[in-house]
């Protein structure tokens, strides 16, 4: 009797948890790291839409910030863990669907990020010289679908709407001395075009005030120290910031606000030979005007309402102001995409509906898809670890290992039937080596392949 019972438990315990992670960005890799560490026996498969891994670490993080990309070393170790497998060039919602994955795996974890950008939704946004920051980032970083972006850098004045780190990244890349970019892994075509760029003045326009600006202090300091570039603030934007208010701020907010104020106070006079970077606060774009292209923006003047000074909201007054420009970049945030209609989705927020990472039994999300596009890699890491920990606990609590499952075998049947060439980790290593070798010839850490076709060719070589 005892033996029989023991055996049953034993058999049940012998079922290996099979976990599918969808999306090979930081969220996917950090979750895989934690799961492979906590579950002694497991099969953890990471499916990725593109042939190449690392998500925004490869395609978002600015080329002149190579240190940030050191996380790739840890991701690589995770990918080489015996229980972790990488399968690139499989698109969720197109090649495989949620139903399939739930049939093949005990746990499905969606980490496919937030790829859509938010629009201003104002008249004139359709002009060809109004471009989402996300596409510019994709263009200089070699995203296959952005490589042909028709970016016109022939005019001097650019307005960027949005005051986050992505907005600053774009401004910095466009205003940096070209010699500083040459040694990075920026795509060669972007380098070429930026070296001919006439962009000299960039306005960084935000709806709210200095206290609500989303950029972080490191990125701001970098801008203030940028060679050949002057940062110009508008005095009146800081008039409400009394030393009394400063005294109430927590250290991080206080330090960044003090940095802005000290830069404002240091300001010398305009030097026309220098590039010019100018944050403008309390303005909302109302309409973009021009003949064939955007030439001018009507900005509504905002005031802030609400009791808590850090979370005050912008409210339009009836005053407006014109700002002339040669091009416009929008950088007001991202949102996730549903991709597969059976994924419970909050279209308003652009995230998968979830409670602390759990969508439903055996189905989870983490990273920007679950939290929204906020924070840095540290934020994503911390969230991924906590959702992974929850999965480990739920495997027992929710009885997720009732029956054996096919795992990747099931996915393989589908991709084989549809002749989808899958890129595994060894294939990626070939692509990686190819890119690094190509970069060496021209003195760069890497020259990226920018078409899926080229990536697959090298993978198959």
Which of 131, 241, 381, 422 lies at the binding interface for other proteins (CB under 8 A)?
Answer: 381
Q: Which two tokens stand for residue 367?
A: 């990273």
Cβ-closest position to ligand FAD: 25
Helix (H) or strand (E) run with residue 346 in it: strand 345-346
Report DSSP letters for 95-106, one per residue: TB-HHHHHHH-S
Instruction: Identify residues 126-185 at the interface with other proteins (CB under 8 A).
Output: none
CA distance 101 to 363: 10
CA distance 16 to 405: 9
56 binds, among other proteins, ligand FAD, none (CB under 5 to 8 A by kind): ligand FAD
Which of 312, 320, 338, 386 lies at the binding interface for other proteins (CB under 8 A)?
Answer: 386
For 267-300, b/e burial (b = at least 16 CB within 10 A) is: eeeeeeeebbbbbbbbbbbbebebeebbbebbbb
408 binds ligand FAD (CB under 6 A): no
The residue among 101 and 401 lying less far from ligand FAD, judged by its C-beta, is 101
Give whole-number Cα distances, 190 to 49, 66, 277, 448, in Å.
24, 17, 21, 12
| Residue 65 CB-density burial (10 A; 0-12 exposed, 13-18 middle, 19+ buried) | middle
278 binds other proteins (CB under 8 A): no
Smallest distance, Å, CB 222 to other proteins?
A: 6
For 102-123, b/e burial (b = at least 16 CB within 10 A) is: bebbbbbbbbbbbbbbbebebe
Instruction: Count other C-beta atoms under 10 Å from residue 383's C-beta.
Output: 25
368 binds, among ligand FAD, other proteins, none (CB under 5 to 8 A by kind): ligand FAD
306 binds other proteins (CB under 8 A): no
386 binds ligand FAD (CB under 6 A): no
Helix, strand, coil percent values for the chain (each to nearest 5): 40, 20, 40
92 binds ligand FAD (CB under 6 A): yes
Instruction: Identify residues 3-42 at the interface with ligand FAD (CB under 6 A).
Output: 22-28
The residue among 251 and 417 lying less far from other proteins, judged by its C-beta, is 251
The answer to whether 208 is annotated as binding is yes
356 binds, among other proteins, ligand FAD, none (CB under 5 to 8 A by kind): other proteins
Interface segment toward other proteins; rule CB under 8 A; list 252-260, 284-292, 322-330, 439-447: 252-260
Give whole-number Cα distances, 7 to 2, 12, 14, 18, in Å.
8, 8, 10, 22
**Phi-psi category of 33—alpha, beta or left, where left has phi over 0 and alpha has psi -120 to 50?**
alpha
77 binds other proteins (CB under 8 A): no
376 binds ligand FAD (CB under 6 A): yes
34 binds other proteins (CB under 8 A): yes
Which of 20, 50, 328, 352 lies at the binding interface for ligand FAD (CB under 6 A)?
Answer: 50
> Dmax over Cα atoms in the chain, in whole Å?
91
Smallest distance, Å, CB 67 to other proteins?
A: 4
Q: Torsion angle of alpha carbons 337, 342, 345, 347, nearest 10°?
A: 60
φ, ψ for residue 147 (rounded to 5)? Answer: -65, -25
367 binds ligand FAD (CB under 6 A): yes
201-205/157-161 β-pairing = parallel
The answer to whether 292 is annotated as binding is no
Which of 32, 33, 87, 408 lies at the binding interface for other proteins (CB under 8 A)?
Answer: 33
Smallest distance, Å, CB 376 to ligand FAD?
A: 3
- Cβ atoms 186, 174 nearer than 8 A: no
The answer to whether 56 is annotated as binding is yes
Binding residues: 27, 48, 56, 163-166, 207-208, 219, 368, 375-377
Residues of this chain that bind ligand FAD (CB under 6 A) = 22-28, 47-50, 55-56, 60-61, 65, 68, 91-93, 111-113, 115, 137, 166, 169, 339, 367-369, 375-377, 380
Residues of this chain that bind other proteins (CB under 8 A) = 30, 33-34, 37, 65, 67-68, 70-71, 73-74, 216-218, 221-222, 225-226, 251-252, 255-256, 356, 376-378, 381-382, 385-390
Binding residues for NADP(+): 163-166, 207-208, 219, 375
């Amino acid at each position: 009797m005892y033996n029989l019972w023991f055996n049953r438990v034993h058999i049940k315990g012998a079922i290996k948890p099979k976990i599918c992670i969808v999306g090979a960005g930081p969220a996917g890799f950090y979750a895989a790291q934690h799961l492979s560490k906590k579950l002694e026996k497991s099969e953890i498969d990471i499916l990725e839409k593109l042939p190449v891994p690392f998500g925004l670490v490869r395609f978002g993080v600015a080329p002149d910030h190579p240190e940030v990309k050191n996380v790739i070393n840890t991701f690589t170790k995770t990918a080489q863990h015996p229980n972790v497998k990488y399968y690139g060039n499989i698109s969720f919602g197109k090649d495989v669907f949620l139903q399939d994955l739930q049939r093949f795996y005990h746990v499905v974890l969606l980490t496919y990020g937030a790829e859509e950008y938010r629009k201003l939704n104002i008249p004139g946004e359709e002009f060809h010289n109004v471009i989402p920051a996300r596409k510019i980032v994709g263009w200089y970083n070699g995203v296959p679908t952005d490589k042909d972006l028709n970016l016109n850098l022939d005019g001097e004045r650019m307005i960027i709407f949005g005051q986050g780190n992505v907005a600053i990244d774009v401004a910095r890349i466009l205003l940096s001395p070209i010699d500083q970019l040459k040694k990075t892994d920026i795509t060669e075509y972007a380098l070429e075009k930026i070296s001919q760029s006439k962009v000299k003045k960039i306005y960084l326009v935000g709806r709210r005030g200095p206290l609500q600006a989303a950029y972080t202090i490191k990125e701001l300091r970098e801008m203030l120290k940028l060679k050949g570039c002057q940062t110009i603030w508008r005095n009146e934007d800081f008039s409400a910031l009394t030393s009394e208010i400063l005294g109430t701020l927590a250290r991080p907010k206080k330090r960044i606000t003090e940095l802005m104020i000290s830069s404002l106070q240091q300001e010398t006079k305009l030097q026309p030979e220098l590039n010019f970077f100018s944050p403008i606060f309390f303005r909302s774009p109302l309409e973009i005007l021009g003949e064939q292209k955007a030439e001018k923006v009507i900005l509504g003047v905002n005031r802030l309402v609400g009791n808590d000074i850090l979370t005050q909201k912008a409210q339009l007054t009836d005053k407006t102001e014109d700002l002339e420009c040669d091009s416009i970049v929008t950088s007001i945030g991202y949102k996730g995409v549903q991709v597969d209609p059976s994924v419970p989705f909050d279209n308003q927020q652009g995230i998968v509906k979830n409670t602390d990472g759990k969508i439903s039994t055996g189905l989870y999300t983490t990273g920007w898809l679950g939290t929204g596009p906020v924070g840095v890699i540290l934020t994503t890491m911390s969230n991924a670890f906590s959702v992974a920990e929850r999965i480990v606990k739920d495997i027992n609590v929710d009885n997720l290992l009732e029956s054996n499952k096919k795992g990747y075998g099931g996915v393989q049947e589908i991709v084989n039937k549809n002749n989808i060439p899958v890129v595994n980790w060894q294939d990626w290593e070939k692509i990686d080596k190819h890119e690094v070798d190509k970069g060496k010839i021209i003195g760069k850490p890497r020259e990226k392949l920018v078409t899926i076709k080229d990536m697959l060719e090298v993978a198959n070589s």
